[in-house]
Amino acid sequence: MSDQRVLTVDNVTGHYGDSHILHGVSMHVNEGEVVTIIGRNGAGKTTLLRAIMGILTKRGGSIVVRGQETIALPPERIARLGIGYVPEERGIYATLDVTENLMLPPRVAAGGMSLDDIYKLFPNLYERRRSPGTRLSGGEQQMLAIARVLRTGAKFLLLDEPTEGLAPVIVQQIGATIELMKRQGMTLILVEQNFRFASRLADRHYVMEHGQIVDVIDRAQVQARMDSIKSYLGI
Amino acid sequence: MTHLPDTVTKPTTSNHTLIWYGLGLIALLAAPFLFYPVFLVKLLCFALFACAFNLLLGSCGLLSFGHAAFFGAAGYVAGHAAKEWGLPFELAILCGTASAAVLGFLFGYVSVRRSGLQFAMITLALAQLIYFLAWQLPFTHAEDGLSAIPRGKVLGLFDLDNIMVLYYTTAAIFLFGFIAMHRMTNSTFGQLLRAIRDNEPRAISLGYEVNRYKLMAFVLSATFAGLAGSTKAIALKIAALTDVHWATSGSVILMTLLGGLGTLLGPVVGAGVVQAIEDHLSSLPADFAVFGLFRLPPITAIIGAIFIICILLFRRGIVGEIQHWLDRRSGK
Amino acid sequence: MSMQALFGQLLVGLINGSFYAMLSLGLAIIFGLLGIVNIAQGAFYMLGGFVTWMLLNYAGIGYFWSLLLVPIIVGLIGAAIEKTLLKKIYNLDHMYGLLLTFGIMMFIQGMFVHFFATAGRPYTVPSALTGGYNLGFMFLPKYRGWVVLASLVLCLVTWYAIEKTSIGRTLRAATENPTLTRAFGVNVPALMTIGFGIGVALAGAAGVLAAPIYPVSPLMGAELIITVFAVVVVGGMGSIMGAIVTSLMLGLLEGLTKVVYPQGSNMVIFVIMLIVLLVRPAGLFGRER
């Protein structure tokens, strides 16, 4: 069982400047799973992803990625364990054009998509391949941010609010892409506000409140526990 | 009118601080009986210069790399006024100081709008322009400098060639500048400057004309640097190219940094330490060797090394570290 | 005034301009990546000249080998300084970077004065580059032509490497968003060391090119860096091509002033800076932020 563990987070704490954000978070993700982290704004979801990536500098506890303790590792070493990161703010480089944005992240594992494959999957990115990254529309930028990690060969992806502020058509397209990734056996953590979107994709939902995991809901329980989910999300 | 919240707690004048002021005053009065007065005169001039520099950096966060321009140019003007125009001591000093204020307005007008590092680069480059002008203009006498500047008499009565008169006059000028700047730092104007330093966008959004306040601070800082430079030129009877050289700008930065950025006494202590080191090194015989083994490197290398050590090991400076230590002790 | 004199001074201006270009290019790379205004850039230029002189006089290594070796040596010295000193202040106010490099500059220059005194040391032009061409309107010494050519090529290669290659792509990404770039698996701290090394190596290369023209002395870079600062302010931070073009333009202007109004030649760049600040505060190629 434990050899299938991609990620084990144990009692992780995190600070952002002076404010204490994560208060002992514990969770895990198995090979091939899609797991969401849901919760209200300010619950610490984005901070948890940043802690896993190691770009939150003040963090404690234990984060094990594929059997390797990472709490003392710098971000570049953590990424090299085969993690792909799609940040909330998308992180498209303005000084790089679309192709350069795609080519930037180094390959961290074998089997990543080629540039041609990516352009076949995202034809609109191909059309804009010479534009500076930040000239794209919000949806195109999100596509680019996702496409960018597909090239690296990472099999474990962290996606932070991939549908935030996007039109329904594009949300559908992103959903299809995530399903494709799942079929290919990738492991995903999805931070998502849009629960309807998340529930179609996820095997398990972690509910986060005030910097702690307060509940875990399996796919099978979702219908039965809809009321408590609604109250967690305040909808 | 809205008031920005006070970001730094206003120091209250307790009996404690009064005792310190008293001790400081006694030290200032007694010093010439313990140390060589001419050395003290020079020290006080540089201490005033460093305080002026600290006024800008401490309260505005603006790092000027060109303060030697004000110090040196004021020295030339004061020296010229005393020597060529035959003006009395007080007017000569006034001329020098006023010229620094004008120069400060010019420099400040083009530089305060630029952000931190660009500001430093611009002030350094502008000061270099003044340095080259000092090479070219006839009244500065290029490499020779202005020498044998007559000191004159204070209030037309006391001959400044008397070394004690010279010392106490310089001490009075220093004290005037020191107290004026101290009061300015604690005034509403000073608080406003600190608020701008700590959160400029906020001050702008509250409707303050931030650049105007920065410019005022810059001009004031330049003016006091000019007062220091004028006094130095007349007290030591010489105004020279070294006074406008970038190394002098660097030296005043070091004094402030070493003593303690933004502290009240830091620049004075820093000026004392740097002057003492320079004085000591220049008094050594030419063939001096440490333990008879190796020659000391020139002062610039030593100053460079102090810079590096100070930034890496004690950024708060001497006074800053002592204050920090006292605060921590009293906090526990 | 003779045409000979005019073109001769313009050539000197072009040479100085290409030195400004190499120094400001290095300055821009370092500033982008490390957030440090490296005031010691002039000291590394001096180091380049001195190492060239030392290689010849102590090891018998000639000019062309120096052209290859010296930038590497200077770059390694820079990398070592970055790893031991600069690394410690990245989380502090940018001001401390300027102050620390100022200390480093004073220290390096002071130590060279200590061991070599301030007198200039001549370095003979390599025999392959002696002589010159008569162009009709002027006599072009081969070496001076070579300096302009070599530094232009070096600047353009640097520009190409930054704008068009994968290393440059990573460099630009790390400049724009270092944290995210690390999260993609790029070793940004190592890149910063390399970037500082390359930045000062450019100054070192300028020092090699300068050695046969200007006497090698510990203070040869002390004033140069201030002029380069003015050039950078005129050009505006941020554009590499802008930095190169501004440098050459101002170098030429300086040369021209030497003919027309010699007393003003060392001031003209600073006066231009003053005017640009009044008219276009963000610099010629900069954008107002």
User: Which residues in chain B show pLDDT less than 50?
Assistant: 1-12
Asked if residue A40 belongs to a domain, the reply is yes
Size of interface A-C (CB pairs under 8 A): 62
pLDDT of residue B8: 41
Q: Assess whether pLDDT exceeds 70 at residue C166.
A: yes
CB contacts, 8 Å: A53 with chain C: 183
Domain extent at residue A10: 1-81+193-235
Q: Could you count the other beta carbons within 10 Å of the beta carbon of residue A165?
A: 10
Query: Has residue A61 been placed in a domain?
Result: yes
Q: Is the pLDDT of residue A104 over 60?
A: yes
Residue B77 lies in a domain: yes
Mean pLDDT of C232-246: 85
What is the Cα–Cα distance from A174 to A143, expressed in whole angstroms? 7
Give domain status of residue B296, yes or no: no
Taking residues A18-36, report their average pLDDT: 92
- Do B308 and C95 lie within an 8 Å CB cutoff? no
Confidence of residue A3 (pLDDT cuts 50, 70, 90): low
Nearest CA in chain A to C176: A93
Which residue of chain C is at minimal alpha-carbon distance from A99? C169
DSSP class of A220: G
Contact A87 C185 (CB under 8 A): no
Whether A1 shows a pLDDT value over 70: the answer reads no
Mind giving me the DSSP string for A86-140? E-TT----TTSBHHHHHH-SPP-SS-PPPHHHHHHH-HHHHHTTTSBGGGS-HHH
The whole-number pLDDT of residue A195 equals: 87
Which CATH number is A61's domain given? 3.40.50.300
Number of Cβ within a 10 Å radius of residue A191: 24
Average pLDDT of the residues of chain C: 91
pLDDT, residue B104, reads 96
- Is B30 inside a domain boundary? no
Residue B206: predicted pLDDT = 86
C203-217 pLDDT, tens per residue?
A: 999 999 999 999 999
Touching A: which chains, 3+ CB pairs < 8 A? Answer: C
**C232–B121 CB contact, under 8 Å:** yes
Number of structural domains (chain B) is 1
- Tell me which DSSP letter residue A10 carries: E
Question: Can you tell me the ipTM of this complex?
Answer: 0.92
Q: What is the per-residue pLDDT across C114-134, written as a single tens digit (0 to 9) for each?
A: 899 888 899 989 988 888 888
- B297 vs C94: CB contact, 8 Å cut-off? no
Q: Does a structural domain hold residue B267?
A: no
Q: Which residues of chain B have a Cβ shorter than 8 Å from any chain C Cβ?
A: 63, 65, 110-111, 113-118, 120-122, 124-126, 128-129, 132-133, 136, 246, 250, 253, 257, 295, 297-308, 310-312, 315
Alpha-carbon distance A227 to C116, whole Å?
A: 82
Query: What pLDDT is recorded for position C197?
Result: 96
Residue A134 within any structural domain of the chain = no
B174 in a structural domain: yes
- What is the per-residue burial (b if ≥16 Cβ within 10 Å, else e) of C210-249? bbbbbebbbbbbbbbbbbbbbbbbbbbbbbbebbbbbbbb
For chain C positions 148-187, those within 8 Å of chain A (CB to CB) are 166, 169-170, 172-173, 175-177, 179-187
Residue C49 confidence (pLDDT) above 80? yes
B214 falls within a domain: yes
The model's pLDDT over B171-220, given as tens digits with 9 standing for 90+, comes to 999 999 999 999 998 898 888 888 888 888 888 888 888 889 999 999 99
Residues 6+ apart with CB under 8 A from A65: A6, A7, A52, A78, A81, A83, A156
Q: Which residue has the higher pLDDT, C236 or A49?
A: A49
Q: Write out pLDDT tens, residues A218-227.
A: 988 888 888 8
Total domains present in chain A:
1
Q: Which domain holds residue B145?
A: 37-249
Residue B274 maps to a domain: no
Whole-number pLDDT of residue C73: 97
Q: Is B235 among the domain residues?
A: yes
Distance CA C154, CA C149 (A): 9
- What percentage of residues in chain B have a pLDDT greater than 70? 93
For residues B248 and C139, give the distance between their C-alpha atoms in angstroms, rounded to a whole number. 42
Q: Averaged over C233-259, what is the pLDDT?
A: 89
